[in-house]
Each structure stands twice: as C-alpha cells, then as structure tokens.
Amino acid sequence: MARKSTKKTVSDAVSRRVMKSLDGFAIELPSWGFADTGTRFGKFFQDAAASTVDEKFHDAGLVNQLTGACPSVAVHVLWDFSDPTDPASGRALKKIAKANGVRVGSINPNVFQDGAYKLGSFCSPDPKSRKSALDHTLDSIKLGKAVGSKVLTMWLADGTNYPGQDSIYRRKHDLQNALKKIHGAMDKQWGGSTLLIEYKPFEPAFYHTDIADWGMSAAYCRHAGKRAKVLVDTGHHLPGCNIEHIVAFLLDEGMLGGFHFNDKKYADDDLTLGSIDPYAVFRIFDQIAQHEFETGKASKIEYMVDQSHNLKPKLEAMVQTVCEAQKLYAKAQLVDRKALARAQKQGDIVGAEMILRGAFDADVSGLLGDWRRKQGLSVDPLVALRDSGVVQELGKKRAAARKARGEVQSSSYA
C-alpha cells in the first residue's frame, strides 16, 4: 500500500530525481559507535559490541552492506591505530577497512582524554600540554595521508569552569596559532585534505568553551586557511537554536564542511537521528536542497554519524540512523522549489509552509524500496538485520572471545 500511495503523489520525473540524489548520498559511520560506551556514572556492556578494531570495521561493513550508503568509517587516532605515531599502522588499518568493504574516513585526533589536557589542549596555560596536542595532531595528519583519508576533524574539550580561571584572550590566540600550523601542515603534507572544526556550547567545560558556537568556529577557520570548514554537530546547540538557519548561513558563506548527526532532548544526548525531532533534520536537508536549487551547484558536504548507543543494540541503532537519514533526505528532495518560490514571492505564508509540510508528510517508503531493490538490497535493512539473528550470533561469539582473553564484563543486553 505504501508504494502505491507514493506513486500517486510523486511524478516519474520527481521519482527519478530522488533516486539519483540517493545514489550520491553517503553517510560516514563512527568506529566508536560500535564499541561499548557509557556515561559519567558507568559503562554499559553489550555482548555484541565491538571490542577490537577488526570487529568495529566488520560491523561498519555490515551496515554498509545492509544500507548501501556507508562506504567510510570515521576513526579516533588513540582508539583505532595500533601506533598513533607510525604511518605504518595507518596502512594496516587501511587493509582491515578494505577487507570489510569500506574505507577509512575522517581522522579524529584525541586531545581531550589524557590527564595532560585537564586545563585544555591547544588552549592550556601549560606550554607542554599545548605542544603535546600539536605533536599528536601532526602525527594524525601523517596517518590521514597513509590511509588515504581526506578529512581531519577537530573537536576540543577546551574551556574553563570558573570566571577568572584563565585568560580568554590568551587562549584564543594560542588556538588560532595552533590551527594555522595544523592547516599549514595539511597543505604541505596531505594534498586535497580538509580541516573540519567542530563547536560546542558547553560540556565538559561549564563556564566558557573555547569554540562555543558556529561563529567562533567560522572565525577560527578563516584564521587557519582556505581548507578549513565548520563542522555542525546536530546535538551541539542550546535549546531552541535554529540549526537550519546556521546551515543556510554557512552554506552561503562557503563555510559548511560537514555534519555529525545525532539527536537530543536536552543537551548533547547522542541519540539516534530523528528519534526526537525528525522534522528538524528534514529542515536541515531542506536548506541544503534549497541552496543547491538556488545556486545550481551541488554542495560538498561530509555527512557523518556521531552517536553513543548505550542501551540500543549497536548495529540496530546504526542501521536505524542511516535509514532515517535516507528517508528524511529523500523527503527534502520532494519539495517543489518553483512552487515554493512563487508562494514566497506572493507572501503566501501558509502556502509556503504547506509545501514543506507536504514533502515531510509524504510516504517515501516506495521510493526507498525501489532504490534499494536497484542496489540489490533488502527493502527494509533494519528488518533484515533483526531477522538475520546476526546480533545474537555476534553476542555469543564475542562474549566467548572476551572470556578467552580474560576480559570480564557483566551485561544484560544482547
């Protein structure tokens, strides 16, 4: 019934356009999204969670097989490379990725985990900590080149907890200088690469964060150089923030580099995409499609997932997110841009809104099913995963392997 309903409301020309857009829509998976994670109160174990790099890439490869939309895997340097200072470990990781039908995607330096970064990394008052962060990032650039990646993603936990704790001006200048050096090294050593700079209004710092919003990120990008772009994490905004306005502004400025997709109810909750507000995600995709309509040019955007699935089974949660992203992306392609422009020109507020709502409310399951059949995929990847029993099989196999290695953990989740 869903397929018939879609065919009635979508013309053949629109259907072809949506199908073509899905061909080019790829979303990167995070290696850490398949591993056991937790909160500040504890870590929650799942038997089927990946505990080795091989298992992470196996799971990412499986999601790609099911969805046909996830050819690359984001990696954290300290968590995924056997030697974060040796490019040879990058080449080894590249082989693991290839064996699982994917490639290594964005490179994420880790400048927040070590005790040396208690007061910050690039912004720390301690010059040794600043040097450590820079050295690690320069090593990460070498790894990125070795694996054939084209993206370096920077998220900093830097900030302060109390007024007067440190000089905001000194911290800003030190961060500017560091990012400029990083950009310069990428220019010389890693041709064609892009530096993505993320922002976050608070946490773990609670008084001020050194890159607190998109405007600060954009300013740092401009100081760094032409290859630096803003990375928008959909969970990194204060309540009520109009994210699609930010997206539109950055697109028009040529400063939008990519996304970290997740959802939230309160703060940076790392929930599966669209689980709280799918209309918000649709509105983001709508602005991207609108920009492409108005400029006649496709936007070069890195779409990435950044989620922490503490309770949902890792594989199921990742497939859920990818399918939701495909669905909402497809809906945004249904918007009649010419009709929308006429309504806007006439000041027809209700008419314009109804055009958007019509696309959002449309049933695209038939279109997605047709696209998946053409790719040789299951019409419903999540149902296929659940019916396969692979999560349960992996749970038994991996629990036994951990036990054999002497790793003890208690879990009530499959």
Structure tokens at 28: 């990167």
Cα distances (Å, whole numbers) of residue 331 to 98, 366, 383, 397 = 32, 12, 21, 39
Nearest to 304 by CA among 157, 96, 153: 153
pTM for the structure as a whole: 0.94
CA angle (371, 375, 376) in 5-degree steps:
115
Residue 206 domain-assigned? yes
Q: Give the CA distances from residue 389 to residues 12, 258, 316, 384, 403, in Å, rounded to whole numbers and listed in that order.
A: 37, 34, 11, 9, 22
Would you state the structure tokens that stand for residue 253, as one six-digit string? 């400025």
Instruction: Tell me what pLDDT residue 43 has.
Output: 84
Instruction: Please name which of 270, 362, 313, 304 lies closest in space to residue 18, comparing C-alpha atoms.
Output: 362
Q: Please report, for residues 7, 17, 368, the alpha-carbon distance to residue 4 in angstroms, rounded to integers and kept in the order given.
A: 5, 18, 13
Residue 3's pLDDT is 43
For the record, the structure tokens of 98 come out as 């290839």
CA 33 vs. chain centroid, Å, equals: 11
> What local confidence, expressed as pLDDT, does residue 9 receive?
56
SS3 315: helix
- The number of beta carbons lying within 10 Å of the beta carbon of residue 38 is 11
Q: What is the DSSP string of 169-237?
A: HHHHHHHHHHHHHHHHHHHHHSTT-EEEEE--SSSS-SSEETT-SHHHHHHHHHHH-TTEEEEEETTSS
Cα 146 to chain centroid distance, Å, stands at: 22
Taking the C-alpha atoms of residue 397 and residue 414, their distance in angstroms, rounded to an integer, is 12
Q: pLDDT (tens digit, 9 = 90+) per residue, 303-355?
A: 999 998 889 999 999 999 999 999 999 999 999 999 999 999 999 999 999 99
Assigned domain for 329 exists: yes
In angstroms, the CA 281 to CA 283 distance is: 5
Do the domain assignments include residue 412?
A: no
- pLDDT tens digits for 156-208? 999 999 999 999 999 999 999 999 999 999 999 999 999 999 999 999 999 99
Strands 208-209 and 159-160, by their bridges, are antiparallel
The CA–CA distances, whole Å, from 39 to 13, 75, 133 equal 48, 20, 25
Q: What is d(CA 141, CA 398) in angstroms, rounded to the nearest whole number? A: 33
pLDDT averaged per 10 residues, the chain (length 414): 48 90 97 89 90 97 98 97 96 97 98 96 98 98 97 98 98 98 97 97 96 98 98 97 98 98 94 97 98 95 93 96 98 97 98 98 97 97 98 96 82 41
Neighbours of 16 (CB within 10 A): 11
The helix/strand/coil state of 391 is helix
> Has residue 326 been placed in a domain?
yes
The phi and psi torsions of 60 (rounded to 5 degrees) equal -65, -40
Q: Is 224 among the domain residues?
A: yes
CA distance 31 to 38: 15
Residues 290 and 294: their CA atoms lie apart, in Å, by 6
Residue 400, Cβ neighbours under 10 Å: how many?
11
pLDDT of residue 309: 83
Phi, psi (deg, nearest 5) at residue 10: -120, 125
Q: Which domain holds residue 186?
A: 2-404
Residue 390 sits in a domain of what CATH number?
3.20.20.150
CA proximity to 65, closest of 388, 397, 308, 393: 388
Could you tell me the two tokens for 373? 């059949």
Assign residue 145 a region (left: φ > 0; alpha: ψ between -120 and 50; beta: otherwise): alpha
Tracing tokens 């302060």 back to the chain, one arrives at 160
Helix (H) / strand (E) containing 360 = helix 349-361
In a domain, 409, yes or no: no
How far apart CA 233 and CA 212 sit, in angstroms, is 12
346 within some domain: yes
Contact 248, 287 (CB under 8 A): yes
Q: Is residue 411 part of a domain?
A: no
Number of domains into which the chain is organized: 1
State the pairing for strand pair 151-154/194-198.
parallel
Residue 40 pLDDT: 75
